[in-house]
Amino acid sequence: MSSTHHDFIYLNEPDMIAAGVTDMARCVDVMEEALILLQKGDFRMPGANGMSHGAMFGFPKEPEFPGMPADGPDRRFMAMPAYLGGRFGTTGVKWYGSNLENRTRGLPRSIHLFVLNDADTCVPLAVMSGNLISAYRTGAIPGVAVKHLARKDARVLGIVGPGVIGRVTTEATLSQRPDIDRIVVKGVDEADVQRYADYMKPHFPHITIEGVASEEEVAREADIIIVTVTTDPAGSIGYPYFKREWIKPGALMLLPAAVRFDDAFVADPATRLVVDAWKLYEAWAEEYGDQCYEKIGIVGNRWHELTAQGVMPASKIEEIANIAVGATPARTSDEEIILYSAGGMPIEDVAWATEIYRNAIEKGIGTSLNLWEAPRLA
């Protein structure tokens, strides 16, 4: 075999499952590692600020050319590349397209493919089905907050927006607080709640799942609250809204999607604000300006606006990595209300993809494909 010979592996979705992509407890631990490496600076992401989410394009509302798709709900293509150091030491890119109409075709809203590369030679190591990588790492990032910040005696979980990301964030929460025995769910309708229950019951048969009619009911009941609702085209006026008086003392709120609070509650010294990585919100502010929160929905962007306006100091914002390594205290009391904003970054995909790739190699999972014996244009 020549020194230039190179094979890579292809992992379809069943291969990914066999290699452990749905092991949520492990994913939470790997995401914790990734966030700590991010804070140390042992990573690379795109953009002039080095913290860009990726490169995205959409379509015009009225295309001029035949065959070009028209804009629609949640319709876009995006590439999310990154390098992550530490024990990972790999580079990869998640490439996906999104179209809400896919749900009428029996397809996921977003369809993901992940390519993992050797960071030195640049050769591909694997081409991987990416939907489960993306979903599980998205759920696991809030799981890191549950690990360190949720009350140990939490028994009731609440969720607003029980779709795919709501399900995996539930799995992450239950991996860290297995004593939870009740879930209260606010969906768009009864069928939405039932789909969530049908998915969860086989995995967690001991848990009671109840539908409720409002965000207020969720907030008053739950020790941990998940909000996973798609950004509203109308902006923040359409986001799920929570009043301070509704929220149970000691609650942890997991916020990887659109949500709205009163600014006075957010700025109150008694309200604790934690993010996945503050630099991400600084980068978003550079890219989107004063419409960042309205366009993206993730509440950490509103917190960034409040610090820029002088409403509250930037020192009020804490990063989960500092809490994970013990540099900042975890929960300080059973009454403390903590809001956790999670934006999602390509280093997370690289971390989980690398873990699953190495599992697959160790277990002999996947299809080996030849790139070349010798490159023709070296």
Residues 272 and 303 in one domain: yes
Determine the average pLDDT of the residues in 40-63.
93
342 has a pLDDT exceeding 60: yes
Q: 1 lies in a domain? A: no
CATH number at residue 124: 3.30.1780.10
Q: 377 lies in a domain? A: no
- Which residue blocks in 222-369 are alpha helix, DSSP H? 263-267, 278-288, 292-296, 300-308, 320-324, 346-363
CATH number at residue 156: 3.40.50.720
Residues 177 and 307 in one domain: yes
Determine the average pLDDT of the residues in 140-154.
98
Instruction: Please write the tens of the pLDDT for every residue from 83-96.
Output: 999 999 999 999 99
Q: 175 lies in a domain? A: yes
For residue 181, what are its two tokens?
């025995």
Residues 35 and 149 in one domain: no
Residues 273 and 169 in one domain: yes
CA distances from 273 to 170, 220, 313 (A): 21, 20, 11
Determine the average pLDDT of the residues in 69-81.
94
2 has a pLDDT exceeding 80: no
Q: Are 56 and 77 in contact (CB under 8 A)?
A: yes
Of the listed ranges 162-166, 231-235, 239-243, 310-314, the one predicted with least confidence: 231-235
For residue 325, what are its two tokens?
């390594």
Look at residue 50 in the predicted model and tell me its pLDDT.
Answer: 92
1 has a pLDDT exceeding 80: no
CA 289 – CA 100 distance, rounded (Å): 26
Residues 195 and 300 in one domain: yes
For residue 263, what are its two tokens?
């600014």
CA 266 – CA 186 distance, rounded (Å): 23
Look at residue 73 in the predicted model and tell me its pLDDT.
Answer: 87
348 has a pLDDT exceeding 60: yes
Residues 306 and 184 in one domain: yes
Residues 50 and 155 in one domain: no
Task: Please tell me the total count of domains within the chain.
Answer: 2
CA 60 – CA 71 distance, rounded (Å): 5
145 has a pLDDT exceeding 90: yes
Residues 15 and 156 in one domain: no
Q: Are 213 and 188 in contact (CB under 8 A)?
A: no
Q: 105 lies in a domain? A: yes
Instruction: Please write the tens of the pLDDT for every residue from 278-301.
Output: 999 999 999 889 899 998 999 999
Residues 163 and 276 in one domain: yes
Q: 199 lies in a domain? A: yes
Residues 118 and 228 in one domain: no
Give me the domain span that covers residue 122. 6-134+347-372
Residues 90 and 170 in one domain: no
Instruction: Please write the tens of the pLDDT for every residue from 28-48.
Output: 999 999 999 999 999 999 988
Q: How confident is the model at residue 200 (pLDDT cuts 50, 70, 90)?
A: very high
* Angle CA 180–182–187, to nearest 5: 120
For residue 14, what are its two tokens?
């069943």
Q: How confident is the model at residue 205 (pLDDT cuts 50, 70, 90)?
A: very high
Residues 271 and 352 in one domain: no
